[in-house]
Structure 1
Amino acid sequence: MSRGFVKEEDQEETPLVPPRVELPNGVTNYVTQNGLAELLSEKEALLEEKTKLQATTEQEKRVLSNFINAKIHLLEERIATAKPVNLREQPQDEIRFGATVTLKVNNSPKKMTYQLVGVDEADISKNKISFISPIAKILTGKKVGDQAVLKLAKEDRVFEILAIHYSPN
């Protein structure tokens, strides 16, 4: 039926779902085992949320269901492209995907520790940075004792690598 013959109040808005974190074209969607488990857990939570939908009208329930379906669709696309990395197979003396790195910045006595993870797993509040971030890119391939320089607009930030380790998946 043509949309011209549908009552205005029967038309439903297409749900606007915020996109997932961008993964640039051509970049492999690497994930840690924990990251993959988090994606699968997120999907299960959305499926459960969908079964427990409570709405005052059928239309509201359909809109909420469509919103959750759209989120699940985006999540399934990300899961389908996920390429888990076995951290035990990474070169243990070199910074690669999954490494947890302890650093000093610009001769500061303060040490910082970050893990290089997949884009969906990245969370700076948990000291997890995306493997495609500028810092991760300059650290990749470095070893303990090496320095990596991040060029900023007003200064260069020098990172000294103090330790590298890989937590088991």
Structure 2
Amino acid sequence: MIKIPLTVVGAEKLKVELQHLKSVARPEVIAAIAEARSHGDLSENAEYDAAKEKQSFVEGRIAELEAKLSNAQVIDPASLAPSAEGRIVFGATVDLEDMDAGNNVTYQIVGDDEANLKEGKISVSSPIARALIGKYAGDVCEVVAPGGIREYEVLDVKYL
């Protein structure tokens, strides 16, 4: 199986979601199905159909999370500092200057499931992360983005 890279924080979020689905959502769906069954004819019971559909979603998400967590390679960015020696790697937090726009941005390179641009977390498989991996502070990299080529200067690399 292919290992899925996750930060410690990302793995914990997936575990919390899995626990919630198993201990809260699954029992709620079971109760909703039982309630809908008590209303009689299942062939024309919209509540029953909706509850069964929700059960399918919950069980599918549980299976998906369990598979991701069993194949996860949990990486603690703080432990990378000595071996990375200032190089941009998975989990690193990077301060960049957008050389076209002139503004500074900060991103953390995380797993696909953790990515959230509003929180400054970009997926390791995104064009910008792929361009940054292996670079050092002071390097300039070109990113082929949907809007065209953009240049970024790496200002700082941190392992938080």
Structure with greater proportional helix content? 2
Does 1:76 pair with 2:88? no
2:76 counterpart letter in structure 1 = N
**Could you tell me how far 1:49 is from its partner in structure 2?**
1.1
String of CA shifts for 1:103-139, please: whole Å, max 9, x gaps: 0112543110000001100111111001111100110
Distance 1:27 1:112, change over 3 A: farther
**Unaligned ranges ≥5, structure 2:** 38-47
2:26 maps to what in 1? Answer: 50
2:135 maps to what in 1? Answer: 142
2:158 maps to what in 1? Answer: 165
**Could you tell me how far 1:162 is from its partner in structure 2?**
0.5
1:112 maps to what in 2? Answer: 105
* Structure 1 stretches of at least 4 aligned residues deviating more than 6 Å after TM superposition: none
Cα root mean square deviation, aligned = 2.0
**Could you tell me how far 1:85 is from its partner in structure 2?**
1.1
* TM-score, length basis structure 1: 0.75
* TM-score, length basis structure 2: 0.79
1:51 counterpart letter in structure 2 = P
Give the Cα–Cα distance (whole angstroms) in 2 for the partners of residues 154 and 67 of structure 1. Answer: 35
- Among 91, 107, 111, the alignment partner of 1:98 is 91
- Among 115, 121, 128, the alignment partner of 1:128 is 121
Distance 1:66 1:154, change over 3 A: closer
String of CA shifts for 1:144-163, please: whole Å, max 9, x gaps: 10011113577421110011
2:75 counterpart letter in structure 1 = V
**Corresponding residue SS for 2:115:** coil
- Among 23, 39, 43, the alignment partner of 2:14 is 39
Identity %: 30
**Unaligned ranges ≥5, structure 1:** 1-25
2:56 maps to what in 1? Answer: 66
